[in-house]
């Protein structure tokens, strides 16, 4: 048993000589195999360095000759084995188990198959039978339902709103207030046959699930669908299938966005509405909390036309249409540390202008790793395992450093969103980002860490109330008896997790001490409290997985056990000013540091902050049986089969994970691009037209360059 225990706790990369090998995580190639719109390469291990032989003595030469004879014999045997290995390599790879499930095709049903949600048929059969086969059948050429303006904002002019908050001043794209911030359009319908998400729920979050977005209604107001001959047009979408798109163009006037200064427009909007964010005891009006939406870009980044559309949507929907509730920022990493951007304002501006589209110049802030080295000076001693083999001040291991710095520079923001450049959302940005925050604020703290560590599968667990009761029962019957407090920390988590030996920690912030015992609380503590950390994947215990960066922990006494900690894969999420302040203090005062996907969650865990995994809808390209799915994702049989370790292949066919292949493929198909011999203009024109998706969070989308014609 001790030997088996050691094997179970091995981290794969620790088996390798890291000077000769490099760990390459399971990639997604977005290529088709076995009928799927996506398939994936298997693990690849880079070859080691070539062995070098120096000058040798005569005795060594004789020994080498004898060894050579032995080598020839072994070579003959090995040749036969090598031939067999080559034969095996030439055989098609065995599919992952989930690839044997039926493919779901309803995603590709187009706008000519739209029906009211009451007539919508869920495609999923959860592997109990084959999914419906009626799909991509064009019955009529035009969409049977017209798109309508989609506005998820509160009624800012209502008596109810104005009783609680200051009035909202309308914001415009131009200083003369002649060009209004545009609306987007959605169909109040769904394709007749369409899949359900396997993780998460629209209803639970309060996001509308009875509408879908096509590319013209969603992106047309930002310049999609106009030929390059139109001044200022991007020249994308004008050659794709477009039946019924005139309904959008008749309502949404063309705007030459190349002349728009989004930074100036955002600043004007904030100034007009500053009373909303100040609060006033005299008037009794509630203060609206401000949020920074920070895009993590870098010098040399290529902004394609499709991304320009998404970026315009973010600024318009989050900032201008909301009356300045969000500010969008481009946090630009200057990768060349030799450029003295801090020594010369002109050089700073030149660097910015050469690397950011003109529209967004006044939204952008530069930073560099060299700057972070000065801000958080070395040394950072006592690292348990630097599996990346890189500097602690490099962005790969410390993506949170510039975010901490940004928050210190901008104390006006209550929350900061960390948003990666390869994330896309097919729905409305304001609706998504406000609803997930409101949902988290409604959650009681009791059991929240335990619920956030699990995937909620509605078809298997029932609604979220049932899931909550189920998790609580499992905590008592399974989690507590099996818990190793030294390794995993306390279970259940109730307030700051501080019962472990360490080099010293800062005191937890006020308001983090539970008012009662866990048993006495009736799911009331934390209700109405804004969450300090929002993540879009479960907040898991790295010590229970073979996640390669599990032990990238710095600044704690290495003669003592590594501290209990938590992590969430993909750094996309929302962090409160309070959390970022804790991270900042722990970094510079205590020299504590962890891998970027671990540090925010671990600091929340240690300091008793409120953290929540958002159960946003995640779709899969296959018709999984959900009982088996629950076993795979929530109860891995061995440490290496965790979905956050070698079991990550199970998320390749999803719409959200760090290497989800289906995510990019589905997004490109929605844009009208051909993908693996399917999709594109002819496919859509001969079928049921262009796709219409609910709001789906896609990550990653590494390219948007598929053929359209």
Question: pLDDT for 444-480, tens place per residue?
Answer: 999 999 999 999 999 999 999 999 999 999 999 999 9
pLDDT at 18 over 80: no
**Residue 25 vs residues 109, 537, 669: alpha-carbon distances, Å:** 33, 18, 26
Compute the distance between CA of residue 137 and CA of residue 118 in angstroms, rounded to an integer. 20
In 468-591, DSSP assigns E strands to: 533-535, 553-554, 573-576
Q: Which of 636, 35, 667 is nearest to 310 (CA)?
A: 667
Range of the domain at 687: 83-157+189-254+619-629+663-708
For 402-453, the pLDDT digits (tens) are: 999 999 999 999 999 999 999 999 999 999 999 999 999 999 999 999 999 9
Do 596 and 673 belong to one domain?
no
Q: State the pLDDT confidence band at 94, using cuts at 50, 70 and 90.
A: confident
pLDDT at 53 over 50: no
Compute the distance between CA of residue 250 and CA of residue 248 in angstroms, rounded to an integer. 5
Domain assignment present for 345: no
Domain assignment present for 517: yes
Of 585, 613, 641, the one marking the end of a domain is 613
Domain assignment present for 118: yes
Tell me 57's DSSP state: -
Do 542 and 623 belong to one domain?
no
Helix H or strand E encompassing 215: helix 215-219
Do 624 and 587 belong to one domain?
no
Do 471 and 508 belong to one domain?
yes
Do 623 and 601 belong to one domain?
no
In 243-379, DSSP assigns E strands to: 291-298, 326-333, 364-367
pLDDT (0 to 100) of residue 511: 93
What is the number of structural domains in the chain? 2
Do 497 and 519 belong to one domain?
yes
Do 689 and 602 belong to one domain?
no
594: β partners: 553
Do 605 and 694 belong to one domain?
no
Q: State the pLDDT confidence band at 10, using cuts at 50, 70 and 90.
A: very low
176 in helix, strand or coil? coil
Do 559 and 687 belong to one domain?
no
Do 476 and 566 belong to one domain?
yes
Percent of the chain surpassing pLDDT 70: 85
- 653-692 burial, b at 16+ Cβ within 10 Å, e below that, comes to bbbbbbbbbbbbbbbbbbbbbbbbeebbbebbbebbbbbb
Domain assignment present for 555: yes
Compute the distance between CA of residue 499 and CA of residue 495 in angstroms, rounded to an integer. 11
Compute the distance between CA of residue 329 and CA of residue 325 in angstroms, rounded to an integer. 13
**Residue 653 vs residues 28, 280, 281, 335, 622: alpha-carbon distances, Å:** 10, 50, 52, 33, 7
Q: Which of 172, 365, 154, 181 is nearest to 276 (CA)?
A: 154
Do 701 and 554 belong to one domain?
no
Domain assignment present for 571: yes
Average pLDDT over the chain, rounded to an integer:
88
Q: Residues 196, 198, 199, CA angle at the centre, nearest 5°?
A: 125
């Amino acid at each position: 048993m001790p030997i088996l225990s050691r094997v179970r706790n091995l981290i794969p990369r620790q088996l390798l000589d890291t000077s000769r090998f490099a760990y390459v995580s399971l990639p997604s190639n977005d290529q088709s195999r076995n009928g799927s719109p996506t398939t994936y390469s298997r693990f690849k291990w880079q070859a080691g360095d070539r062995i070098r032989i120096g000058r040798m003595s005569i005795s060594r030469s004789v020994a080498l000759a004898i060894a050579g004879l032995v080598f020839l014999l072994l070579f003959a045997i090995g040749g036969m084995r090598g031939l067999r290995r080559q034969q095996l390599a030439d055989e098609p790879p065995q599919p992952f188990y989930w690839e044997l499930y039926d493919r779901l095709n309803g995603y590709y049903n187009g706008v000519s198959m739209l029906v009211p949600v009451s007539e919508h048929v869920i495609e999923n059969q959860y592997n109990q039978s084959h999914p419906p086969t009626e799909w991509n059948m064009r019955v009529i050429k035009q969409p049977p339902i017209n798109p309508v303006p989609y506005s998820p904002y509160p009624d800012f002019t209502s008596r109810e709103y104005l009783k609680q908050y200051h009035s909202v001043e309308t914001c415009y794209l131009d200083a003369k207030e002649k060009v209004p911030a545009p609306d987007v359009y959605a169909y109040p319908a769904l394709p007749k046959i369409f899949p359900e998400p396997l993780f998460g729920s629209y209803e639970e979050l309060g996001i509308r699930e009875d509408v879908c977005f096509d590319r013209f209604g969603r992106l047309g107001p930002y310049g999609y669908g106009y030929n390059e001959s139109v001044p200022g047009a991007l020249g994308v979408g004008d050659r794709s299938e477009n039946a019924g798109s005139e309904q959008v163009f008749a309502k949404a006037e063309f705007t030459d966005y190349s002349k728009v200064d989004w930074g100036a427009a955002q600043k004007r909007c904030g100034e007009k509405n500053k009373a909303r964010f100040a609060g006033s005891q005299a008037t009794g009006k509630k203060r609206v909390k401000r949020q920074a939406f920070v895009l993590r870009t870098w010098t040399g980044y290529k902004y394609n036309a499709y991304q320009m559309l998404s970026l315009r949507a973010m600024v318009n929907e989050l900032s201008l249409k909301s009356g300045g509730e969000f500010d969008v920022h481009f946090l630009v990493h200057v990768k060349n540390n030799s450029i003295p951007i801090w020594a010369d304002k002109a050089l700073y501006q030149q660097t910015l202008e050469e690397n950011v589209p003109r529209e967004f110049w006044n939204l952008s802030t530069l930073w560099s790793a060299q700057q972070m080295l000065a801000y958080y000076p070395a040394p950072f001693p006592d690292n348990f395992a630097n599996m990346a083999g890189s500097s602690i001040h490099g962005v790969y291991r410390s993506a949170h450093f510039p975010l901490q710095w940004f928050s210190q520079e901008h104390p006006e923001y209550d929350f900061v969103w960390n948003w990666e450049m390869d994330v896309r959302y097919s729905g409305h940005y304001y609706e998504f980002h406000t609803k997930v925050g409101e949902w988290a604020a409604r959650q009681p703290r009791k059991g929240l860490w335990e619920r956030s560590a699990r995937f909620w599968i509605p078809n298997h667990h029932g609604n979220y109330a049932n899931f909550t009761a189920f998790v609580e029962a499992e905590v008592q019957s399974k989690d507590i008896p099996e818990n190793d407090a030294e390794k995993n920390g306390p279970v259940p988590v109730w307030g700051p997790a501080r019962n472990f030996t360490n080099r010293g920690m800062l005191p937890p912030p006020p308001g983090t001490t539970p008012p009662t015992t866990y048993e006495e609380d009736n799911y009331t503590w934390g209700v109405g409290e804004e969450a300090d950390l929002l993540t879009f994947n479960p907040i898991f215990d790295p010590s229970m997985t073979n996640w390669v960066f599990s032990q990238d922990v710095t600044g704690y006494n290495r003669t003592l056990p590594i501290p209990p900690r938590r992590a969430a894969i993909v750094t996309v999420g929302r962090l409160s000013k309070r959390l970022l302040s804790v991270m900042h203090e722990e970094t510079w005062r205590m020299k504590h540091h962890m891998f970027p996907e671990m540090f925010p969650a671990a600091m929340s865990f240690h300091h008793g902050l409120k953290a929540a995994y958002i159960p946003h809808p995640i779709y899969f390209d296959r018709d999984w049986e959900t009982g088996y799915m629950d076993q795979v994702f929530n109860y891995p049989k061995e440490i290496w089969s965790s979905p956050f370790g070698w079991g990550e292949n199970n998320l390749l066919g999803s719409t959200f994970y760090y290497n989800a292949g289906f995510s990019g493929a589905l997004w490109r198909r929605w844009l009208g691009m051909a993908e693996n011999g399917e999709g594109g203009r002819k496919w859509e024109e001969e079928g049921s037209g262009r796709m219409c998706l609910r709001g789906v969070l896609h990550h990653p989308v590494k390219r948007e360059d598929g053929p359209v014609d």
